[in-house]
Amino acid sequence: MSQKRSHMITQGFERTPHRALLKGTGVPQQQMDKPFIGIASSFTDLIPGHIGMRDLERFIEKGVHSGGGHSFIFGIPGVCDGIAMGHKGMHYSLPTRELIADMVESIAEAHRLDGLVLLTNCDKITPGMLMAAARLDIPCIVVTAGPMLTGTGQEGRKFSFVSDTFEAMAKYKAGVIDEQELMKCEDKACPTAGSCQGLFTANTMAILTETLGMSLVRCGTSLAVSSLKRRIAFASGERIVELVHNNITPRQILTRAAFENAIRVDLALGGSSNTVLHLLAIASEAGVDLPLEEFDRLGRETPQLASMNPGGKHFMEDLDAAGGVPGVLFQLRDRINDNPTLTGPSVMEIVASVAEVDEDVIHPTSDPVRAEGGLAILSGNLAPLGAVVKQSGVSEKMMTFEGRARCFDSEEAAMAALMGGQVVAGDVVVIRYEGPKGGPGMREMLAPTATLMGLGLGDSVALITDGRFSGGTRGPCIGHISPEAAEGGPIALVADGDRICLDIPNRKLELLVGEQEMARRQAAWQMPEAKIKGGWLARYAKVVTSANTGAICTG
């Protein structure tokens, strides 16, 4: 191995002040020549997915020291999207991805750390960590803290966060369930530590992290409360020291082939639409050209092999027991690229090690759940630069739909209309000025989408937005419309009563308004006043790019 980065703060008489400060933290002299390993931990008492990280920090730390390194824990912030949902807090969620990447970069560079273990779990935190790893290109390994167990009820009923809170709220509003049932859902929806139980954004990103080769085998699906997760944490601590000694860095792993594998696994499982934003952003940091259209090309030739909650019946605990990521790779083996991993064995060596897969959960390609993958990229005069739909959560009835526009310039206005009974069958709810710039922050729209389902409108009303959706969203909901309204995109020009045509099989999203009328509206359009004028979000809005490029910051 070439000279360690940490030698810049530990070696030579010129570094006497640096060593004095390190000794002030308790570092013994004999540790000064060992690899300095940062443990970037997003522990917080605020997020169920992160409350168990103090335990995992201990096991990572043990692994680092057993492997011959010296570890330093430092904190990284996290936002719980569920708690931030439906109010000003959600403006901050996606932008924290950029903050997290910047913070990891700052600490690693300022303290000349030789390697990093990135302890993470939830929505924007995992992609932010991966962006930092790709940007720094120093030895890194990711430990995702794992999903929570489902809640249990009578007759084998399983409770989960989205179905039994957001959708239950709407069912209560509609009179489908009573207050006692609503409270039962609230009490049972989140029974343990861990990320929410279905294939929402947090768990999808954990799976894709393992698929990319950036975390150890089984890390992506092993449960937060399992002893296996502890052992993976310990092994990750040992492994990072080996990666430092062998100078194995993320850009050796994060190749175009790795991203194609991640997209295929995402499509096969029907994962969160947010992964499109995140994979594009990570690829940008890794210097890999990954156009949005690649998701659709791979989606047409990659079948959906699992029926995962929220759109299907299985939960993360079922996927883990069925074979986890190696099981999915095994079923996709004829479509998967070989590629190195941080684990040691290559992707195809991991596939070859699979002894058994539960095909009731992870179907073979000869018997798919759907012929195409879970995500589709739409385009048309309403989304010239693309839009994203999680087609795995759309009923066959709504794969094609034409309806009349009901336009709202904020999520709050749309929610008021939904809860007030003002949205009816045949409507297309248009929520705009919620994109990366216009939001700012491209808020998730779980509340309105779950309300649609809870009100029984999932087979008669579509929703389109330049914002984005929770991984828990299901139904005919199209997000990431680009260009966004705040850039003068066509979604800004839609008027109440316009006809909108959705055709998912043919990947079309069209506004049925003539070109001359659209030109007249474009000439009259003016950007509304910014929703947030101060703080760092105002700065974020000035430098963030469109959703079709991953909503990355360029300045």
The residue written with tokens 């749309």 in the block is 414
In this predicted model, what pLDDT tens digit does every residue of 336-346 receive, in sequence order? Answer: 999 999 999 99
Q: Over pLDDT 90: what percentage of the chain?
A: 86
CA 464 – CA 481 distance, rounded (Å): 8
Measured distance CA(53)–CA(74) in Å, rounded: 12
Q: How far is CA 147 from CA 81, 196, 211, 457, in A?
A: 15, 6, 17, 30
The whole-number average pLDDT for the span 422-451 is: 93
Q: Do the beta carbons of residue 475 and residue 127 sit within 8 Å? A: no
Tell me whether residue 175 is exposed, middle or buried, using C-beta atoms within 10 angstroms of its C-beta: 0 to 12, 13 to 18, 19 or more.
exposed
Contact 102, 126 (CB under 8 A): no
- 231-235, 394-398, 475-479 — most confident range: 231-235
Task: Outline where 120-159 has alpha helix (H).
Answer: 125-136
pTM given for the model: 0.94
* Predicted pLDDT at 157: 86
Kindly state the percentage of the chain with pLDDT values over 70: 99
Fold of 34-148+193-352: Rossmann fold (3.40.50)
The predicted pLDDT at position 2 comes to 61
Cite the residue boundaries of each domain of the chain with CATH code 3.40.50.2300: 34-148+193-352
Q: In what order do the strands lie in the sheet with 140-144?
A: 70-75, 36-41, 115-120, 140-144
Residue 235 host element (H or E): helix 227-246
Average per-residue pLDDT in the chain? 94
Phi, psi dihedral angles at 66 (to 5 degrees): -65, -35
From the list 380, 456, 385, the residue with the least C-alpha distance to 173 is 456
pLDDT at 247 over 80: yes
Is 460 catalytic? The answer is: no
Check whether 555 has a pLDDT greater than 80.
Answer: no
The per-residue DSSP string of 163-229 comes to TTTHHHHHHHHTTSS-HHHHHHHHHHS--SSSB-SSS-HHHHHHHHHHHHTSS-TTTTTS-TTSHHH
Give the pLDDT confidence of 250-306 residue by residue, as tens digits: 999 999 999 999 999 999 999 989 999 999 999 999 999 999 999 999 999 999 999
Nearest alpha-carbon partner for 160 in 197, 130, 128: 197
Residue ranges of the chain that CATH labels 3.50.30.80: 377-549
User: Considering 93, 470, 482, 546, which one is annotated as catalytic?
Assistant: 470
Given 3.50.30.80, 3.40.50.1860, 3.40.50.150, 3.40.50.1980, which CATH number is that of 377-549? 3.50.30.80
Give pLDDT tens digits for 148-162: 999 887 777 898 887
Q: How confident is the model at residue 469 (pLDDT cuts 50, 70, 90)?
A: confident
Q: Mean pLDDT throughout 50-64?
A: 98
Q: Check: CB of residue 358 under 8 Å from CB of residue 322.
A: yes
| Range 337-369 burial, b when 16+ CB lie within 10 A, else e | eebbbbbeeebeebbeebeebeeebbbeeeebb
What confidence score (pLDDT) does residue 230 get? 98
Residue carrying structure tokens 């984005």? 468
Q: What pLDDT score does 1 carry?
A: 47
CA distance 314 to 300: 23
> DSSP secondary-structure letter at 314?
B
- H or E stretch at 252: helix 250-253
Q: What are phi and psi of 41, to 5 degrees?
A: -110, 130
Each residue's pLDDT tens digit, 30-48: 999 999 999 999 999 999 9
| Amino acid 360: pLDDT | 97
| Residue-wise pLDDT tens digits, 414-434 | 999 999 999 999 999 999 999
Please report which confidence band the pLDDT of residue 540 belongs to, taking 50, 70 and 90 as the band edges. Answer: very high
Q: Is the pLDDT of residue 12 over 60?
A: yes
pLDDT tier at 475, thresholds 50, 70, 90: confident
- The residues with which 405 forms a beta bridge, in sequence order, are 428
Q: For residue 53, name the pLDDT band (cuts at 50, 70, 90).
A: very high
pLDDT score at 71: 98
- Who wins on pLDDT, 123 or 128? 128
Ramachandran class of 50: left when φ > 0, alpha when ψ lies in -120 to 50, beta otherwise: alpha
pLDDT for res 153: 79
The angle subtended at Cα 495 by Cα 491 and Cα 496, nearest 5°, is 125
